[in-house]
């Protein structure tokens, strides 16, 4: 059973550019989550899906962030007009119906 | 509001010592779940345990044990006979029944020296 995978693992971009990250969950998992982690902090919830439906989105999440899970399998997280404050590790997790969440290796974003 | 507090920022021990990582949580819900995750230097969060609020039994898994006390809103984690491979950042987290989102503490960095 393969775990959660994320692509790319590292992304360096210039301020103002758009970036998109991909997450592939564990195959039988119907829920998928995005979190953001900055240095020295715990992961912070961004949004989550059950199948294709986006069930919750953090109120702290800027309108520049959007996530999709079009076929209920993989998900993408897009950040438009990146800012230096967006530099962080973006983590994806999946679960089966809300049981324990299993995390991927993360995508480290650096905005210069 | 939900909150998880891990007051210990960093702990250093020598191999074979026992170590306890503290976690205190706040929630108004009666149904909630508590978790511990390990984040080794490689960076990937590793699931360790999930407990629901109705099950206060302590749990032991090998060298790991967890003590859940609703009276003090604590969910502490003990590693017995620590090993160098236990060196990592450990996160405690909370979720409520009405939402899946995990609320994490700030983590405790454990360093085990040989």
Residues of A in contact with B107 (CB under 8 A): 40-42
Residue of A nearest to B9 (CA): A40
Mean pLDDT across A5-18: 97
pLDDT of residue B16: 97
* pLDDT tens digit sequence for A47-59: 999 999 999 999 8
Residue of B nearest to A40 (CA): B106
Residues of A in contact with B4 (CB under 8 A): 42
Residue A5 has pLDDT above 90, yes or no: yes
Mean pLDDT across A20-35: 95
To test the contact with chain B by mutation, choose from A40, A43, A98 the residue with the greatest count of B C-beta atoms within 10 A, namely A43
Q: Which of A58, A103, A41, A111 is nearest to B101 (CA)?
A: A58
Residue A43: Cβ-neighbour burial (10 angstroms; 0-12, 13-18, 19+): buried
Mean pLDDT across A68-94: 95
pLDDT of residue B95: 94
Task: State the nearest Cα–Cα gap between A102 and chain B, in angstroms.
Answer: 7
pLDDT of residue A89: 97
Residue A1 has pLDDT above 60, yes or no: no
Residue A58: Cβ-neighbour burial (10 angstroms; 0-12, 13-18, 19+): middle
Residue A106 has pLDDT above 80, yes or no: yes
To test the contact with chain A by mutation, choose from B44, B46, B92 the residue with the greatest count of A C-beta atoms within 10 A, namely B44
Residue of B nearest to A41 (CA): B106
Residue of A nearest to B98 (CA): A98
Mean pLDDT across A67-79: 94
Residue A30 has pLDDT above 60, yes or no: yes
All residues at 6 or more sequence positions from B43 whose CB lies less than 8 Å from its CB, including other chains: A89, A105, A106
Q: Is B98 on the interface with A (CB under 8 A)?
A: no
Alpha-carbon distance B27 to B1, whole Å?
6
Q: How many CB atoms lie within 10 A of CB B39?
A: 19
DSSP, collapsed to helix, strand or coil, labels residue A31 as strand
Cross-chain Cβ contact A103/B45 below 8 Å: yes
Alpha-carbon distance A48 to B102, whole Å?
11
Residue A13 has pLDDT above 70, yes or no: yes
Where chain B has pLDDT below 50, the residues are none
Q: Which is more confident, A97 or A74?
A: A74
User: To which residue do tokens 């790319």 refer?
Assistant: A8
In chain A, which residue ranges form alpha helices assigned H by DSSP? none
Residue B80: Cβ-neighbour burial (10 angstroms; 0-12, 13-18, 19+): middle
pLDDT of residue A71: 86
Q: Which of B15, B32, B30, B10 is nearest to B86 (CA)?
A: B15
Residue A34 has pLDDT above 70, yes or no: yes
- Mean pLDDT rounded to a whole number for chain A: 94
Across the interface, of B42, B99, B104, the residue whose CB is closest to A43 is B104
């Amino acid at each position: 059973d393969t775990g959660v995978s994320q692509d790319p693992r590292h992304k360096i971009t210039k301020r103002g550019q758009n970036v998109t990250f991909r997450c592939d969950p564990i195959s039988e998992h119907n829920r998928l989550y995005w979190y953001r982690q900055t240095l020295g902090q715990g992961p912070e919830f961004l949004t989550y899906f059950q199948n294709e439906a986006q069930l919750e989105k953090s109120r702290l999440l800027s309108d520049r962030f959007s996530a999709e899970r079009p076929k209920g399998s993989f998900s993408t997280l897009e950040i438009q007009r990146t800012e230096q404050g967006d530099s962080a590790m973006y983590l994806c997790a999946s679960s089966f119906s809300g049981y324990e969440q299993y995390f991927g290796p993360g995508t480290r974003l650096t905005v210069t | 509001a939900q909150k998880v507090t891990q007051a210990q920022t960093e702990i250093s021990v020598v191999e074979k010592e026992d170590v306890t990582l503290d976690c205190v949580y706040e929630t108004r819900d009666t149904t909630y779940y508590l978790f511990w995750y390990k984040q080794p230097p490689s960076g990937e969060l590793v699931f360790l345990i999930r407990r629901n609020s109705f099950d206060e039994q302590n749990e032991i898994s090998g060298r790991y044990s967890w003590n859940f006390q609703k009276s003090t809103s604590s969910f502490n984690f003990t590693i017995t006979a620590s090993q160098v491979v236990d060196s990592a950042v450990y996160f405690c987290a909370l979720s409520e029944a009405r939402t899946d989102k995990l609320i994490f503490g700030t983590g405790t960095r454990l360093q085990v020296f040989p």
